[in-house]
Structure 1
Amino acid sequence: MISEYAKIHDSVELGHNIEIEENVIIEEGVKLGNNVVVKKDTIIRKGSVIADNTVLGKKPFKASNSAVTQEKELEPLIIGEYVTIGANCVIYRGAKLNNFVFVGDLASIREDVEIGEYTIIGRGVAVENKTTIGKKVKIETNAYITALSTIEDYCFVAPEVTFTNDNFLGRTEDRKKYFKGATLRKGARVGANSTILPGIEIGEDALVAAGSVVTKDVPPKKIVIGSPAKIFKDVPEEQLLENQSYYNE
């Protein structure tokens, strides 16, 4: 089903069993796979590719006891130029994916999320609401980015990393005043299976070793390791962001 009120460029390639709702805008060169659903008002810029069974522009449901999800009018989902979105993804209304973002299969990106250019969101990654992710970030398979998090440019988040945002684990109304996800400053890296406690800041070019539990802020350019994570040594000079060939700032 394709709404007569959708604006679809003649060059767009449509798979089978497509559903496109009213006021959708799809620019030239876009490719939609089979069973794709595009909810109303969604904007897909030129050259983007959307794989099978993906839902774009979904409105969030609010559980009766949700502490972060709000019932409000959201801006349309915007998919930038030459974005690639894999199969079986759900991208919510109110999100914005900038140019050249890559999203792997089975990923979920919530409302009030912005993702910078050339960032990679890996297979099965969940990015919760009210989160900002910079450019040229890499978030790998099955990482969990909780609501109210910030990840700056050039950060690396390894597989199965978990961010958290509630020190009270769902108990007491007072907890709602303190909700805060992690903040990763430019070039920070987090190793596989690490857990970052609520409100923690990982400094620029810092590195969290695999399997760590981070309970305190990490200074810039330091390596931390363990549970609880403690400073181990400085990040080697050759690993600093400023010394990488792809760094252009």
Structure 2
Amino acid sequence: MYISDKAKIGKNVKLGHNVVIEDGVIIENNVQIGHNVVIREGTIIREGSVVGDNTVLGKKPFKAKASATTEEKELPSLVIGNFVTIGALCVIYRGAILSDFVFVGDLASIREDVKIGEYTIIGRGVTVENKTQIGKYVKIETEAYITAISNIEDFCFVAPEVTFTNDNFLGRTEERKKYFKGPTLKKGARIGANATILPGIVIGEDALVAAGAVVTKDIPSKKVYAGVPARELKDVPADELLENQKRK
């Protein structure tokens, strides 16, 4: 175990075996850290949070020469909010912010310049790329891929294996860099399993994309779209609209 003498650790903190805590780390009261966890310089973990075995917090990004979205810049500290749960074998980068009561499943990866709102669930094996905003009470399920420069508003649902995209040029020409943009999901939008959302697409409030759909154009609010390419199928039933749900 290595704990820097420049780290600050609160009361009732439980540390597993072989934990590494670097300079400037702040761990508040009643935090639980699993075995073999690496907490990089400056990371902040708020009260009551839990971190699973073999997780890395505060990793700095490496930049490939061909990368178009990773910037070489000084990033702020990773901030883990109050009562956040982070599973085993996760990697969460410096420059991310996880708000209070966020849940992150095993094997997830969350990049820099990402903000995740309160009570959101990031499922097992989910990848959230850089420069992405995710609201509160969002659920992103197993193995979904959220590409860079995406925006997911409050109360959205993203099913397993959904793929967001942000590059219509498929990695060729410098011209493509002018147009990088991931999808935007407006409040309460829902995406079914294995759907693919093309770059820059806007899914309207309370809209629903059926499983396996390929979305090639913007979808209006409160509409159901299905197929390849996705086409309008019907209105979202009134009893499924966000405004008609009971919230705890």
Give TM-score scaled by structure 1 length.
0.99
Residue by residue over 1:26-85, the C-alpha shift from the partner in whole angstroms, topping out at 9 and shown as x without a partner, is 000000000000000000000000000000000000001100000000000000000000
- In structure 2, what residue type is equivalent to 1:115? I
In structure 2, the partner of 1:106 is 107
- Give runs of ≥4 in structure 1 deviating > 4 Å: none
What SS class does the counterpart of residue 11 from structure 1 fall into? Answer: coil
Q: Distance in 2 between matches of 1:114 and 1:10?
A: 27
1:235 equivalent in alignment to 2:236: yes
Q: Point out where structure 2 has 5 or more consecutive residues left out of the alignment.
A: none
- In structure 1, what residue type is equivalent to 2:43? T
1:58 equivalent in alignment to 2:59: yes
Q: Distance in 1 between matches of 2:72 and 2:150?
A: 20
Q: Point out where structure 1 has 5 or more consecutive residues left out of the alignment.
A: none
- In structure 2, what residue type is equivalent to 1:141? T
- In structure 2, what residue type is equivalent to 1:59? K
Q: Distance in 1 between matches of 2:146 and 2:28?
A: 30
1:148 equivalent in alignment to 2:110: no
Percent identity over the alignment is 73
Q: Distance in 2 between matches of 1:77 and 1:246?
A: 30
In structure 1, the partner of 2:22 is 21
- In structure 1, what residue type is equivalent to 2:119? Y
In structure 2, the partner of 1:157 is 158
Q: Distance in 1 between matches of 2:176 and 2:16?
A: 46
In structure 1, the partner of 2:220 is 219
RMSD: 0.6
Q: Distance in 2 between matches of 1:110 and 1:24?
A: 19
Q: Distance in 2 between matches of 1:161 and 1:191?
A: 7
In structure 1, the partner of 2:10 is 9
Once the 2 structures are TM-superposed, how far is the Cα of residue 10 of structure 1 from its aligned partner? 2.9
Give TM-score scaled by structure 2 length.
0.99
- In structure 1, what residue type is equivalent to 2:170? L
In structure 1, the partner of 2:139 is 138
What SS class does the counterpart of residue 231 from structure 1 fall into? Answer: strand
In structure 2, the partner of 1:176 is 177
What SS class does the counterpart of residue 242 from structure 1 fall into? Answer: helix
- In structure 2, what residue type is equivalent to 1:195? T
